[in-house]
A and B are shown apart, each in its own frame.
Chain A
Amino acid sequence: MTEFAHDAQMYHTAQIVLAGMTVCCLALWIVGRALFKVNIPLALNLFISAAVGAVVGGFGIPWRHLIEGPMYYIYINLVIFTALIMLQVMKENGQMEAIAWDILVCFRQRPFFLFMLLMLMVYFPGMVTGVGAAAVLSTGVIVAVILRAVGLPPLETGAMLAVWSTFGAAAPPVNLPALIISGGLNMPFDGFTQILLVLAVPPGLFAFWYLGYKYFKVITPEEINRILPVPQRAFLLQPYLPILTILVIFLAISFFPRQMPDLVSPLVFMIGALVAFASGRRINFFMASSRAMGGRLFGVVAVFFVVGSVVQVMTLTGVKGYLVISIFTLAAVSPVLLYLMMGFGIPLLGGTITHLGVSAVLAVPFAFALLTSNTIVIVSCLAMFCMMSQIIPPSALGGYTSQDVVGLPSYTPILKRCTVPALVAIGWTIVVMIFAKQFAEIFVPY
């Protein structure tokens, strides 16, 4: 193995690796489009590009690193799979439709409450998994039906799902980037609840005002019954049993950690899936599970795994450090640039290496750069920037899944409709960051 210089030569090595990865990524995309008329799956593209980058940098084919990196994401992928199995079962056995029917019947004349409830429905899966795509692919599907029923066009529906799921994943209790960043700073993940809500909820409210409110029309009971079947249930709460079950378990784990063993999320979701199976219309559980894992989700999970390879190769070759030091150098020119680099640099890089990858690569060094302010607020803000990656291509995990749900042929129009809410969220986060001490006095318990 070559012994690498750790002097100024490292800049050149990192640039060569980075160029190799970028050129390979683009070349594969172009070849795929030109020769096969398809987009080569992002996961495959990134995996090959990472390997090629290492080779052109003189590191050989980094087998160990390509295999070791993805191990980090095994658990989160299990969470996504199991959460979606539960929600797929609920979808196929009619429980989701029943919940949607209840919401429409109760709130068809009260748009504010309706939108708030729908927002909560989209937020919830992201809040417990930390991944926006999980929300879109689960409750998002039924929320899309309701939004369309009350008059929203497909474009606005897709954009609403994309931004709500993105902001929802930033809401507590599970904010994966905040967990990664606080772990990097050796600080407890404690005291984040209120400030994460302050960051995640206002942009969501803005999004429903900006994207949805003006389209709202009151729907008649007859129209509701035409769109959704009248629920058949033994008792009122029957469709809610799976969600209530997992909610009770999660709350018990949170509030009674000594008495209640941590069953870990995948097992909790599987319990929820079994409760759904037992409490709804008879369906084939295994086929539902298979459908839950297919399609876009398979690609999302594959991207998560491959991001592990990419980040590890970037670390090995010094590209990660190169990106960090480049940003610090730019930020040294002016504090304004520092905030702009955070607000835009993090989501843009995260668009390639996902919100989890960018948390480890960029957000932790930024957090160190701002240690003089309130750390909990700073970490929360950085986590929010990382979350914005979920609507940025090429990964756009939340964005592409939203496009799938509303059935539009291209993601670009959805991304354009997401721009204003995303900019508002970034602007709001920057404001919170600048006034971190003042926000901390109110929203951080200590």
Chain B
Amino acid sequence: MKIKPTSLLACVVSGLLVLTAVLSYNNFTRQWKDDLIIPSKHVTTVKWLSDYLPWLKGTRGDSRVFIIDSGVPGGTFGLLGGTHPDEQAGWMAAIILVEKLQLKSGKMVIIPHANNSAMTHSFPQEATPQFIHIPTDDGAVRVFRGGSRGTNPVDYWPDPEVFSHYQTGQKLSGEEVRNLNRNYPGRPDGQFTERVAHAIFKVLIDEGVDINLDLHEAWPEYPFVNAVGADQRASDIASLAALDLRMEGVEIGVEAVPKKFRGLSYRELSEYSNAMGLLAETPNASQGRIRGITDETLVIKGQDEFYVTATQLGRTFAKFDEHGWPLSKRVARHIALINALARTYTETYPEKPIEFENMPTYDELVDTPVGHFLNSPAAVAGN
């Protein structure tokens, strides 16, 4: 059957497209609304990225910056979650700290949704859940957006065929133009994602961040997983923290910054600011190519029989068994790493301490659903 481009066909196709757009508008724009984050009383200031780069004001790229200042002089720890929003343990760990963390000394600067625009849509063909529902202890349900790996095309489109990193000319796949973690250090007048990257870079400069950790997750079949990447200046701290964690029974590798790969947070932010750069990865089956059914259950429970088989075939770098890698375990690893890094940083630079109080241990976190560590909307008024 040959289709001829008649006026009638054009009208029918156009009509169908308009109807589809109208019917699906609400479904897709639901993700544009910011997630509820209920900061603890220890959060001293809530700023926005637009406070550091005014151009972002009113855009989907604007995002909250939570500052917890102990009032006791010390070092400043920067924490990025949601660089890739489909790596849920990253932003979940950051949100838990915003809602629970207490500091004895030093300062913490947390951006749970580093690429907020990427929180507002799902990546085509990935079928990832649009929302994640987490019950809290009192039975309330906190709803978080699932998000995507890159900036929403509504904010930047089309991608070039080949993306060239502005500062170095490194060439990457075109869609990486919307990947925050390929755009550092960014530019104040660059394309959308470069501007977000620049705003984060400004946060690090203006808030005097000494050590910065970018929380990620990776496919179980990806070689850089269950590991912390560190720039040259942070390698000692990272190695000590990894040793600490191994003593607690948490196996974690330490990786150096890839020499030829540019635009990464832990490389560029470290090179262009005073902050030591680090990046952490936990295994997330809901991202991998081998995964089975893609839904909220996979994100939260992290169990996948296909990955069990893949491990048996030697195809994964993160070992998978029937228990999988639940969200609680992945968040536990991130928070345990943050704790260990702060501890080793304080030991290495005692004149700039960063000390936490009442931080849950790895064992407590790993055995408890993440909802336990979140504030209930009913218990706390407003955001």
Which of chain B's residues has its CB closest to A11's CB? Answer: B305
Residues on B with C-beta less than 8 A from A360 are 125
Residues on A with C-beta less than 8 A from B305 are 6-11
Q: What's the nearest-Cβ distance from chain A to residue B11, in Å?
A: 14
Q: Which of B1-9, B134-142, B344-352 contacts A (4 or more CB under 8 A)?
A: B1-9
- Contact A67 B174, beta carbon cutoff 8 Å: no
- Contact A312 B126, beta carbon cutoff 8 Å: yes
- Contact A317 B173, beta carbon cutoff 8 Å: no
- Contact A308 B125, beta carbon cutoff 8 Å: yes
Which of B159, B173, B260 is most buried by chain A, counting CB atoms within 10 A of its CB? Answer: B173
Q: Contacts A75-B159, A308-B125, A315-B126 known; A328 to B315 CB distance under 8 Å? A: yes
Q: What's the nearest-Cβ distance from chain B to residue A314, in Å?
A: 9
Q: Is B18 interfacial (CB-CB < 8 Å)? A: no
A130 to B174, CA, bound (A): 13
Residues on B with C-beta less than 8 A from A266 are 158
- Contact B289 A368, beta carbon cutoff 8 Å: yes
Which of chain A's residues has its CB closest to B263's CB? Answer: A188
- Contact B172 A188, beta carbon cutoff 8 Å: yes
Of residues 233 to 282 in B, which have CB atoms within 8 Å of A's CB atoms? 260-261
- Contact A13 B293, beta carbon cutoff 8 Å: yes
Which of chain B's residues has its CB closest to A41's CB? Answer: B1
How many A-B residue pairs lie within 8 Å, measured between CB atoms?
Answer: 175
- Contact B293 A4, beta carbon cutoff 8 Å: yes
What 1/0 flags go to A288-330 for Cβ under 8 Å of B? 0010011110110010000010011101111011101100110
A302 to B198, CA, bound (A): 39
Q: Contacts A10-B292, A328-B315 known; A446 to B260 CB distance under 8 Å? A: yes
Q: Which of A3, A74, A325 contacts B309 (CB 8 A)?
A: A325
A78 to B153, CA, bound (A): 15
Q: Is B20 interfacial (CB-CB < 8 Å)? A: yes
- Contact A371 B162, beta carbon cutoff 8 Å: no
- Contact A321 B169, beta carbon cutoff 8 Å: no
Q: Is A104 interfacial (CB-CB < 8 Å)? A: no
Residues on B with C-beta less than 8 A from A419 are none
Q: What's the nearest-Cβ distance from chain A to residue B263, in Å?
A: 9
A262 to B126, CA, bound (A): 28
Q: Is B124 interfacial (CB-CB < 8 Å)? A: yes
Q: Which of A70, A264, A329 contacts B313 (CB 8 A)?
A: A329
Residues on A with C-beta less than 8 A from B289 are 184, 320-321, 324, 361, 364-365, 368
- Contact B127 A312, beta carbon cutoff 8 Å: yes
Interface of A is mostly: helix
Which of A173, A189, A325 is most buried by chain B, counting CB atoms within 10 A of its CB? Answer: A325
Residues on B with C-beta less than 8 A from A364 are 289
Q: Is A183 interfacial (CB-CB < 8 Å)? A: yes
Q: What's the nearest-Cβ distance from chain A to residue B89, in Å?
A: 18
- Contact A318 B292, beta carbon cutoff 8 Å: yes
Of residues 66 to 102 in A, which have CB atoms within 8 Å of B's CB atoms? 67-72, 74-75, 78
Q: Is B62 interfacial (CB-CB < 8 Å)? A: no
- Contact B161 A179, beta carbon cutoff 8 Å: yes
The number of chain A residues with a CB under 8 A from chain B is 79
What 1/0 flags go to A1-21 for Cβ under 8 Å of B? 001101111110110000000
Q: Is B47 interfacial (CB-CB < 8 Å)? A: no
Q: Which of B5, B158, B221, B260 contacts A365 (CB 8 A)?
A: B221
- Contact A312 B297, beta carbon cutoff 8 Å: no
Q: What's the nearest-Cβ distance from chain A to residue B191, in Å?
A: 9
Q: What's the nearest-Cβ distance from chain B to residue A386, in Å?
A: 14
Q: Is A182 interfacial (CB-CB < 8 Å)? A: yes
Q: Which of A7, A70, A318, A369 contacts B315 (CB 8 A)?
A: A369
Q: Is A248 interfacial (CB-CB < 8 Å)? A: no
Q: What's the nearest-Cβ distance from chain A to residue B216, in Å?
A: 11
Residues on A with C-beta less than 8 A from B304 are 6, 10, 321
Q: Contacts A71-B153, A257-B164 known; A290 to B5 CB distance under 8 Å? A: yes
- Contact A265 B24, beta carbon cutoff 8 Å: no
A364 to B166, CA, bound (A): 27
Residues on A with C-beta less than 8 A from B127 are 65, 312-313, 315-316
A173 to B164, CA, bound (A): 13
- Contact B306 A10, beta carbon cutoff 8 Å: yes
Q: What's the nearest-Cβ distance from chain B to residue A387, in Å?
A: 16
Q: What's the nearest-Cβ distance from chain A to residue B165, in Å?
A: 8
- Contact A325 B24, beta carbon cutoff 8 Å: no
Which of chain B's residues has its CB closest to A361's CB? Answer: B289
Which of B4, B159, B306 is most buried by chain A, counting CB atoms within 10 A of its CB? Answer: B306
- Contact A174 B162, beta carbon cutoff 8 Å: yes
Q: Is B291 interfacial (CB-CB < 8 Å)? A: yes
Q: Contacts A41-B1, A182-B173, A446-B260 known; A308 to B161 CB distance under 8 Å? A: no
What 1/0 flags go to B294-314 for Cβ under 8 Å of A? 110110010111100110010
Q: What's the nearest-Cβ distance from chain B to residue A50, in Å?
A: 12
Q: What's the nearest-Cβ distance from chain A to residue B151, in Å?
A: 14
Q: Contacts A188-B171, A265-B161, A290-B5 known; A325 to B306 CB distance under 8 Å? A: yes
- Contact A325 B290, beta carbon cutoff 8 Å: yes
Of residues 33 to 63 in A, which have CB atoms within 8 Å of B's CB atoms? 36, 38-41, 63
Which of chain B's residues has its CB closest to A293's CB? Answer: B5
A281 to B195, CA, bound (A): 46
Q: What's the nearest-Cβ distance from chain B to residue A9, in Å?
A: 8
Which of chain A's residues has its CB closest to B9's CB? Answer: A298
Q: A10-B305, A318-B294, A322-B292 are in contact. List 12 more A-B contacts (CB 8 A).
A: A9-B305, A10-B292, A39-B1, A75-B159, A174-B162, A182-B173, A188-B261, A257-B166, A295-B4, A298-B3, A325-B310, A365-B315
Query: CB within 8 Å of B: which residues of A?
Result: 3-4, 6-11, 13-14, 32, 36, 38-41, 63-65, 67-72, 74-75, 78, 130, 173-174, 179-180, 182-184, 186-190, 257-258, 262, 264-266, 290, 293-296, 298-299, 302, 308, 311-313, 315-318, 320-322, 324-325, 328-329, 332, 360-361, 364-365, 368-369, 371, 446
26 A-B contact pairs sorted by A residue (CB < 8 Å):
A6-B293, A9-B305, A13-B293, A41-B1, A41-B3, A65-B127, A72-B125, A180-B173, A182-B172, A188-B260, A262-B160, A290-B5, A298-B3, A299-B3, A311-B125, A312-B125, A315-B126, A316-B127, A321-B289, A321-B290, A325-B290, A328-B310, A328-B315, A365-B290, A368-B219, A368-B315
Task: Across the A-B interface, give the 6 residue pairs with the lowest CB-CB distance, nearest first.
Answer: A183-B173, A318-B292, A316-B127, A72-B124, A10-B292, A38-B1
